Structure 1
């Protein structure tokens, strides 16, 4: 089901997105060699609550944490825990905030300490692919245009696109219609219209596209155990140029 938002609702999602951005900034300050993923989760939970929000993920379909923290070959939906970050790790941090009844959703992937050149480029190009997708998120285009732009770019760099996991609408619910795949054909898919708010979230693998689910029932990893990267913004569909409702500015002030 696609829910079309009023300008007031889009503004509320943007306020949620700003709190989410500030959460990501606090995480960026804390991410370093030796910190455990549970410590990052505790930090995010406390910051969201102190900011008047509620963690969108915690309790969602039984998910037990505030953050999805996915390390190295994990793609998404990883559980925080006792794992301490090491030199060369890749860590995706995905977070959602419910502020005043409206959700926002974003993700950022970090290299810990000195990472290989292959990994550094994977992170750089995955982030670029997110913004290429956002450029297509305008009135009159279709979800296939977003997916095509992401897929065409990353595959030209030798990477692969996860097929089973996709972006989605965002609003009063964390996940709404339409689905927003990170692959596709130009001119295909759901038509984009004013009032739609979507999360665009390329999940890009260094190796092959195939994934498997771990025994915890949540964590998704690459089948070939090569690293994966994940970047995400929540955006409003506009005429001419999409409006990004989440922000990486608090992360970029730190790193």
Structure 2
């Protein structure tokens, strides 16, 4: 059966997350339903695998999944057909590619990149409602950068891990945290870019929620180092909401899409 990689973009608001669930809408379920209209293998209940299982309300600009199909599709026509059958769900297949049989969207990945968007302004968001986390007052970006530096590298991230995380170990290497600050009408937007081979459940949202406390002046930057060293979930700052989070890239030893 030929294997295809799919690069997928979605708005997470209508979904209970990526993973298929029997009684709730999911991104995986929407794509598998579209595939079932195109391929006899999926009509028989086949599944796709993804690089990351995003939570309810989390978005993606470059999720990667793979599917084994009975038909040897032209990749362009496969993407076009899927997008036709995905309507009106806010899910889009940006590109499809034929990949080797040993390619695996999850296990072949060497890094994952996330973006978190946080806006600070008094007026409620309109065009970005549900796509950003909004706070009322400006944040100190330089203080957040100083705090974030404590988290880069190999650490035990128990403090920044969900209590229901299923990862075998809390030890992860966080390769990068970059924080951009830009002006928006009557406010500021802060973009947090995080890069690692893999992440723990709620790790990004726990980190950004904690850094926001530093930016707001409630925590000194060094308190983040103390929280990390505590290896205790109780030492974490608040977990920020999911709707500002985007899976924005997945790295592989060789780009399956040839870009």
Q: Normalized against structure 2, the TM-score is what? A: 0.31
Higher strand share: 2
What's the TM-score, normalizing by structure 1? 0.32
Task: Give 1 or 2 for the bigger CA radius of gyration.
Answer: 2
